[in-house]
Amino acid sequence: MTTVMARVRHLEAREVLGTALCGVPIDCSKGAVDRDMWVYDAASSTWLHLLNINPDNVTIENFLILPADAATIDAAGAITATASHMVIDTFGGAATDNLDTINGGVNGAILIVRSTDSARDPTLRDGVGNLVMEGAVDFTLTNTRDTITFIYMAIGWLELSRSNNR
C-alpha cells in the first residue's frame, strides 16, 4: 500500500478557493489559493507530489483516476450522474434500453459512461432529453469496453467523444 497519509502545504495567499481535497480542508478564510498535495510512499520513505491547485488551473502529476459509480436507467429513460465515471445498466435487466436524460452535473463537469454488461445494451439518444450527441446520432453501448464522454453545459450533456471498442 503506497498511500499512507496525505498533507496539503500552503504555498501562497492571493484569493479565495473554498472546498476540501481528499478530506483535507482548504482554509479559504485566510485567502490561501496555491496549494500542493503530497502523498507519502512508505515503500521508499519519500513524499510524492500529486497535484498543485492555483487560481488558474489544477496540475495533476501521474494519472487522473476516476472510480466508477453505478446507475440503472429508470422507467423514464434517465440516470443521475454521481461521479465522473458511470457504469450504467438497463431498466430491469432488459436486453436493450434507451438513455435520454442524465440528471446532475455542473458546468464544465466531464462524464465518461460505460455499460455494465455486454448482454444489455443501453442506447444514448440525442435530443430526446438533455443529451447532445455528435451529428445528432445516437450511440449504443454494445459491450463493456464501449465508452462515451460528455461535458456538461447549461443546455445539457454535450458529447466530446465516443469509442466503439469491439
Question: Confidence band (pLDDT; 50, 70, 90) for 51?
Answer: confident
| 82 and 145 part of one domain | yes
Specify the long-range contacts of residues 6-14, CB closer than 8 Å, at least 24 apart.
6/37, 6/38, 6/39, 6/40, 6/50, 7/37, 7/38, 8/35, 8/36, 8/37, 9/35, 9/36, 9/38, 10/34, 10/35, 11/35, 11/36, 14/55
Q: Across all residues in the chain, what is the average pLDDT?
A: 81
| 147 and 78 part of one domain | yes
Predicted local confidence at residue 24, as pLDDT? 47
pLDDT tens track for 99-117:
999 999 999 999 999 999 9
- CA–CA gap between residue 19 and residue 164 (Å, rounded): 37
Question: Confidence band (pLDDT; 50, 70, 90) for 18?
Answer: very low
Query: Is the predicted pLDDT of residue 36 greater than 80, yes or no?
Result: no
Q: Which residues contact 55 (CB under 8 A, 6 or more apart)?
A: 14, 15, 33, 34
Question: Confidence band (pLDDT; 50, 70, 90) for 29?
Answer: very low
Q: How many domains does the chain divide into?
A: 2
| 130 and 77 part of one domain | yes
Domain encompassing residue 25:
3-60
Predicted local confidence at residue 34, as pLDDT? 64
| 53 and 91 part of one domain | no
Query: Which of 15, 31, 60 is where one domain is finished?
Result: 60
